[in-house]
């Protein structure tokens, strides 16, 4: 049936309203994989969780989801996982968090509309959570917090709230609150209803668990001191105003907090429901000029991730595009913003791993994988109809640096060409020393980026490369005046990006802090650099 333009607009708006596109941010081991699996279980996409366990195998895998696929025999994509839940369409974007932590992890967050921050109740805020949170904050992304592993001994939850506020400046507003001491968890109070949700220990939560809801009066009788203490703590939270606040949540300033245990399924449904009810649906995105293209306008989107050679047999490039407006239909011809050239979407896929499934249509909030995308770069816009240019995806302050040289100097040309292409794809950042050694300095946020580069230079450009790590561990964006002042300082190296941006690389954070304290006038900007 042919749709009228008006009917199509209505459909696109409705479909966008159903989308919830989010990513999970956490430190390795906090429970992201377990929670992802439980989301699938609760959505009905998986009938049984944890069928097979092979943790060692998972450590080797290149993506959490690919490994889940291998070990549990289920098909999940390595970039975006889509499942229906209560009449909505949930897109969960993968932020690889184990050994393959890389700039990709950060970039994925630019395609999300919300995030779930998973904290281990025994550990609180950890290094990787903090880094990922910084990116969320820069985008003012709404964040839901899940305090995981409450089935085992942990820290005092009130202290954890303080820590969240102190360390990352986020105001946590508990929606559920634990009853019982750390290590002797009885369940939670749902602050919205006052009900007690009793915790029943289930072995690994293989199936969706029944939930026992207890009236507050009955809970007070049965839970005794633990209940009284929890009520006192809630009074305290009420007194300091730690109550759910939609406006500040949507502005990325406060974070509704849920308490649970992903392993035993406890609290998973509360969290998933909150995601549906509180997190924003796909909204119109601002373009470079700051204006927004309506959701119902013709198709537009931007590339937020690229992957080459996913299919060894085909040596292909896949670009992952976040849909911002309109309906995507496989086969449509789009315009590639930066070149103005047409781009055919005959091969659009939604699923990776051992299997690829073609995708026929997609709506704002969804992710489409475009095959044959060698000419597309990270941050590029694609559209049908009127042109639109979405803002560039920021590059991130690197933490690993290595000087690169081709092993065989006769292959210098291929080496240069390879670096140029891999830099465009966002595999690593290529820097140079404006006044010193002409050999390029490669920079990354994760070691895996160097491994990928080395392999691809060898296999695609026939060049073996020697990488010699430098002793620098963090970088800050700087300006010419500060760079000039820092040039001869011990433990600092000035490096430049291709576009002229200057970075000051430091050997130690303590040294940087010291220099900064002595010279507060110096420009040293952190994390997300434009």
Residues of this chain that bind ligand G4P (CB under 6 A)? 26, 28-34, 53, 55, 64, 97, 148-149, 151-152, 261-263
Least Cβ distance, residue 26 to ligand G4P (angstroms): 5
Look at residues 107, 116, 105 and name the one whose alpha carbon lies nearest to residue 141. Answer: 116
Least Cβ distance, residue 120 to ligand G4P (angstroms): 8
Size of the chain, expressed as the number of residues it contains:
530
Look at residues 134, 66, 75 and name the one whose alpha carbon lies nearest to residue 100. Answer: 66
Compare residues 30 and 226 and give the one whose CB is closer to ligand G4P.
Answer: 30
Q: Look at the block and give the residue holding tokens 């009520």.
A: 231
Compare residues 110 and 128 and give the one whose CB is closer to ligand G4P.
Answer: 128
Compare residues 32 and 493 and give the one whose CB is closer to ligand G4P.
Answer: 32
Token pair of 42 as six digits: 């609760």
In contact, 350 and 321? CB cutoff 8 Å: no
Least Cβ distance, residue 41 to ligand G4P (angstroms): 13
DSSP E strands: which ranges in 8-124?
Answer: 19-26, 80-85, 88-93, 114-120
The residues facing 87 across adjacent strands are: none
In contact, 505 and 470? CB cutoff 8 Å: yes
Compare residues 32 and 88 and give the one whose CB is closer to ligand G4P.
Answer: 32
Residue 242 CB-density burial (10 A; 0-12 exposed, 13-18 middle, 19+ buried): buried
Q: What is the dihedral of CA 264, 266, 271, 273, to 10 degrees?
A: 110
Compare residues 97 and 406 and give the one whose CB is closer to ligand G4P.
Answer: 97
Q: What is the DSSP letter of 266?
A: B
Least Cβ distance, residue 380 to ligand G4P (angstroms): 31
Least Cβ distance, residue 28 to ligand G4P (angstroms): 4
Compare residues 185 and 461 and give the one whose CB is closer to ligand G4P.
Answer: 185
Least Cβ distance, residue 121 to ligand G4P (angstroms): 9
Look at residues 287, 516, 248 and name the one whose alpha carbon lies nearest to residue 383. Answer: 287
Compare residues 51 and 464 and give the one whose CB is closer to ligand G4P.
Answer: 51
Least Cβ distance, residue 36 to ligand G4P (angstroms): 8
Token pair of 303 as six digits: 């590339």
């Amino acid at each position: 049936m042919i749709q009228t333009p008006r009917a199509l607009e209505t459909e696109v708006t409705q479909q966008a309203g159903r989308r919830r596109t989010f990513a999970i941010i956490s430190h390795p081991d906090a429970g992201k994989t377990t929670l992802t699996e439980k989301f699938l279980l609760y959505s009905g996409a998986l009938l049984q969780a944890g069928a097979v366990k092979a943790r060692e195998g998972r450590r080797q895998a290149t993506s959490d989801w690919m490994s889940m696929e291998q070990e549990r025999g289920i098909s999940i994509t390595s970039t975006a996982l889509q499942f229906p839940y209560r009449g909505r369409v949930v897109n969960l974007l993968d932020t690889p968090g184990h050994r393959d932590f890389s700039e990709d992890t950060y970039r994925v967050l630019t395609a999300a509309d919300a995030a779930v921050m998973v904290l281990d109740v025994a550990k609180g805020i950890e290094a990787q959570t903090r880094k990922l949170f910084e990116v969320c904050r820069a985008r003012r992304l709404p964040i839901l917090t899940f305090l995981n592993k409450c089935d085992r001994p942990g820290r005092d939850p009130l202290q954890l709230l303080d820590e969240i506020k102190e360390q990352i400046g986020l105001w946590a507003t508990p929606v559920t609150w634990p009853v019982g001491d750390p290590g002797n968890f009885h369940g939670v109070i749902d602050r919205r209803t006052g009900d007690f949700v009793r915790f029943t220990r289930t072995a690994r939560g293989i199936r969706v668990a029944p939930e026992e809801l207890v009236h507050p009066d009955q809970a007070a009788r049965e839970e005794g001191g633990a209940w009284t203490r929890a009520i006192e703590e809630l009074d305290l939270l009420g007194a300091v105003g730690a109550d759910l606040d939609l406006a500040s949540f949507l502005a990325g300033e406060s974070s509704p907090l849920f308490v649970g245990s992903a392993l035993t399924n406890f609290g998973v449904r509360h969290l998933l429901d909150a995601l549906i009810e509180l997190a924003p649906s796909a909204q119109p995105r601002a373009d470079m000029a700051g204006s927004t293209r309506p959701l119902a306008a013709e198709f537009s989107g931007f590339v937020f991730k690229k992957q080459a050679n996913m299919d060894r047999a085909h040596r292909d490039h896949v670009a992952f595009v976040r849909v911002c407006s309109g309906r995507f239909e496989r086969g449509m011809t789009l315009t590639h913003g930066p070149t103005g050239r047409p781009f055919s979407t005959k091969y659009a896929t939604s699923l990776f791993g051992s299997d690829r499934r073609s995708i026929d249509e997609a709506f704002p909030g969804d992710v489409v994988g475009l095959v044959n995308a060698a000419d597309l770069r990270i941050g590029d816009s694609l559209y049908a109809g009127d042109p639109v240019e979405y803002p560039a995806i920021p590059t991130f302050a690197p933490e690993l640096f290595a000087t690169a040289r081709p092993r065989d100097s006769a292959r210098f040309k291929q080496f240069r060409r390879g670096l140029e292409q891999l830099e465009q794809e966002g595999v690593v950042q290529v820097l140079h020393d404006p006044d010193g050694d002409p050999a390029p300095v490669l920079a990354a946020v994760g070691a895996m980026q160097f491994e990928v580069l080395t392999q691809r230079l060898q296999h695609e450009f026939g060049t073996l490369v020697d990488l010699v790590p430098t002793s620098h561990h963090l970088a800050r964006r700087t300006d010419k005046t500060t760079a000039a002042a820092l040039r001869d300082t011990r433990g600092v190296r000035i490096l430049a990006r291709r576009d002229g941006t200057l970075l000051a690389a430091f050997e130690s954070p303590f040294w940087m802090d010291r220099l900064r304290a002595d010279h507060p006038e110096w420009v040293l900007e952190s994390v997300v650099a434009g």
